[in-house]
Structure 1
Amino acid sequence: MNKPLRALLIAGLLPFAALGTAQAQSELDAIERAGVIKIGTEGTYAPFTYHDGANGLTGFDVEIGRAIAEKLGVKAQFVEGKWDGLIAGLDVKRYDVVINQVGITDARKAKYDFSDPYITSPAALIVRNDNDSIKTFEDLKGRRSANTLTSNFGQLAQRYGAQIVPVQGFNESVDLLLSRRVEATVNDKLSYLDFKKQKPDAPVKAVAYAQGQDLNASGVLMRKNNPELREAINKALAEIRQDGTYKRISEKYFGVDLSAEQ
């Protein structure tokens, strides 16, 4: 290729390269200009995102979201929705990110971007106290398990051969379990421990916890190709670990410093 033609081609491509950079920066720029980061969350998944006695939105994930917003120099605005449509809300730009215990999986990474993990927790296999036939995840084969269909926990139960009875969240899963409409639920260990703390006499027990590759690492979910936003959120997460904010939030909800385990 002769030099003049090559120079013309390069010159012609420069505006497109500049456009790509502008697009990559636009989401963070828009958040900063608006002074608000919109965060998708359920509001029904204690202790991560739920309503307290005064009907105020609270929880571990909610406080992490507010801490991230503070580090970004903006306010957090939460937009609530049911789990099964929560991630899809990113596609129609209902919000900028989702902070709702969204497990980091290869399937999701193919369509969305994640921050660095901000919490890791194993799945718990939960049954009624009088159930002695389910002791391991392998025992789920052919059994009815209450789970949200698109969650990591639901997919884990399916992988072990469970028949999934669809629900909207943890509380509904436990209700079905207690009423004997299902035999088990696979759910987050921390949610289970919080439930038992609130209702120690509830006749349910955790008989097994996932290990290895089945550990559930969650991150802040965002639309693809926004490296500036992802970098800013990762920086915010690192800062709240370093300044003790993460420790304070995790001890408030779980009684332990989870930052030491991440």
Structure 2
Amino acid sequence: MTARSTRRPTAASSRIAAAGAIAVAGALLLTGCGDQTDDGGTEGSGSAAAAPLADKLPQAIRDKGVIKVGSDIAYAPVEFKDESGKTVGIDPDLAAAMGKQLGVTFEFENGTFDTLITGLRSKRYDIAMSAMTDTKERQEGIDADTGKKVGEGVDFVDYFTAGVSIYTKKGDDQGIKTWSDLCGKKIVLQRGTVSEDLAKAETEKCPAGKPIKFESFDNDQQAQTRLRAGGADAGSSDFPVAAYAVKTSGGGKDFELVGEQVEAAPYGIAVAKGNTQLRDALKAALDAVVANGEYKKIMDKWGVADGAVTEVTVNGGK
């Protein structure tokens, strides 16, 4: 299944991804954490002075040797905790590879997805890396729901391409193939995501008396639990996440993907406006990881090569 670009809703403010079959792989030495706590990070490659791109970082970060990363660590396979409690996934693997180039440790700190940019503005985090879609609203600090400016915005270093999928209980798709098929039905999803935006936009097109009912949760795992228990007709999330749930939940017996992906867009690492030196250092590190082949190995490891980029861009979201 390949992503296809379609209309982007006004409130496009979430994660989305396009990928092939998801394969669970080994874990990095990167620890997870409880909500809003920090207990570990990726391994760097020694001192900043020994790393090829260390001099591109702001001096304050070089002195600390740490980049604090805000992330919602409950979004397998992008970032999640494995059975031993380690934080693993696509983003942690990329962060570890970037750390080798920059000579610093990326420390992942868990937070609710819709509060990550706020944490970035308050300087709780240096960056946000959490399957976050690069959108013009976020770049400009616009609240996608109200259209009002709520902050100075952020810059994005884009590193992946993504799309949204619908999934149902296995063997019970109820004829659902597109978003319009959800009229009169109930869907579960994560709060603050493009999936939620699509549900809001699509229900306005439904026939009278047949709106899409949707229930939003703090994380995708809660939505999956609700669907598994029979509390909804379908769920929606970024394709890698939906595919991972289909592959792993109940040993592959709980869910099935339906229809095609929509809303293809870039994932980006968010950096506060004005912090251009850090932004450019991250881009240089990702460029190096793409050039030396580590990027491809990570994409292949997690089965997400279909979402890989050939060029790292800044603020490529529409």
TM over 0.5: yes
Q: What's the TM-score once normalised by structure 2's chain length?
A: 0.68
Is residue 246–residue 254 contact of structure 2 (8 Å, CA) maintained in 1? no
| CA positional deviation for 1:98 | 0.7
Deviation >6 Å, runs of 4+? none
CA distance in 1, matches of 2:137, 2:123: 20
Is residue 90–residue 302 contact of structure 2 (8 Å, CA) maintained in 1? yes
**3-state secondary structure, aligned to 1:241:** helix
Q: What's the TM-score once normalised by structure 1's chain length?
A: 0.81
Correspondence for 2:183 = 141
Q: Does 1:93 align with 2:123?
A: yes
Q: What is the aligned-residue identity percentage?
A: 26
1:217-256 equivalence runs, <5 A: 217-254=266-303, 256=305
Q: Does 1:50 align with 2:100?
A: no
Correspondence for 1:123 = 164
Alignment gaps of 5+ in structure 1? 1-26
Is residue 37–residue 75 contact of structure 1 (8 Å, CA) maintained in 2? yes
The CA deviation string for residues 109-166 of structure 1, in whole angstroms up to 9 with x for no partner, is 1123333321112100112231324221112234322122212222122221233311
| CA positional deviation for 1:176 | 1.1
| CA positional deviation for 1:45 | 1.1
CA distance in 2, matches of 1:152, 1:145: 13
Correspondence for 1:18 = none
Correspondence for 2:218 = 168
| CA positional deviation for 1:105 | 1.2
| CA positional deviation for 1:70 | 2.5
Cα distance change, pair 122–157 in 1 and its aligned pair in 2 (3 A)? same
1:7-22 equivalence runs, <5 A: none
CA distance in 2, matches of 1:140, 1:86: 30
Q: Which has the higher helix share?
A: 1
**3-state secondary structure, aligned to 2:274:** coil
Is residue 118–residue 218 contact of structure 1 (8 Å, CA) maintained in 2? yes
Is residue 38–residue 78 contact of structure 1 (8 Å, CA) maintained in 2? yes
Is residue 162–residue 265 contact of structure 2 (8 Å, CA) maintained in 1? yes
Q: How many residues align?
A: 234
Structure having the higher Rg: 1
Alignment gaps of 5+ in structure 2? 1-56, 142-152, 204-211, 312-318
Residue type of the alignment partner of 1:30: A
CA distance in 2, matches of 1:100, 1:59: 10
**3-state secondary structure, aligned to 1:155:** helix
| CA positional deviation for 1:260 | 5.8
Q: Does 1:62 align with 2:111?
A: no
CA distance in 2, matches of 1:52, 1:201: 18
Correspondence for 2:236 = 186
Correspondence for 1:36 = 66
Cα distance change, pair 143–91 in 1 and its aligned pair in 2 (3 A)? farther
| CA positional deviation for 1:63 | 1.3
